[in-house]
Structure 1
Amino acid sequence: MTPAFQTIPSLNGIRAASVLLVMLSHAGFGEIVPGGFGVTVFFFLSGYLITTLLVNEFGHTATIDVRNFYIRRFFRLFPPLVVTLAIAYSLVASGFLPGGITLYGVLSQLFYFANYYAMNADIGKVMPGGTVILWSLAIEEHFYIVYPLVMLGLLSRGVSVRRIGQLFVVICAVVLLWRLYLASQPGFLSARTYFGTDTRIDSILFGTLLALWHNPMARIAEKERMSVAQWAIVAAALGLLFATFLFRSEFFRQTTRYTLQGIALYPLFYFAVRYHDNFVFRHLNWQWISKIGIWSYAIYLIHYVAIIFVETHWSGAAGHPVMVFLVAAVISICYAMFIDKWIDPYFRWRARPRPAGGRGKDASSVAAQTGH
Structure 2
Amino acid sequence: MGMSSPVGLHRVLAPHGVLPQAARSLDTAPDIADDEVRVRVERLNLDAASFRQLHTAHGGDGDAVRAAVLDIIKNCGKMHNPVTGSGGMLIGTVDAVGPRSPLGLRPGDRIATLVSLTLTPLAIADELARWDGHSEQVPTSGHAILFARSVAAVLPDDLAPELALAVLDVCGAPALTTRVVAQHRDHGGQPTVAVIGGAGKSGSLALAAARRAGAARTLGVVPSAAERDRLTAADVADDVALADARDPVALAHAVERHLGRPADVTVVCVDVPGCEHGAILATANGGTVIFFSMATSFPAAALGAEGLAADVTMLIGNGYVPGHADLALTLLRDVPGIRALFAARLAAEAAG
- Taking structure 1 as the reference length, the TM-score comes to 0.25
- Taking structure 2 as the reference length, the TM-score comes to 0.26
Instruction: Give the strand-richer structure, 1 or 2.
Output: 2
Instruction: Give the helix-richer structure, 1 or 2.
Output: 1
Greater relative contact order structure (CA < 8 Å, 6+ sep): 1
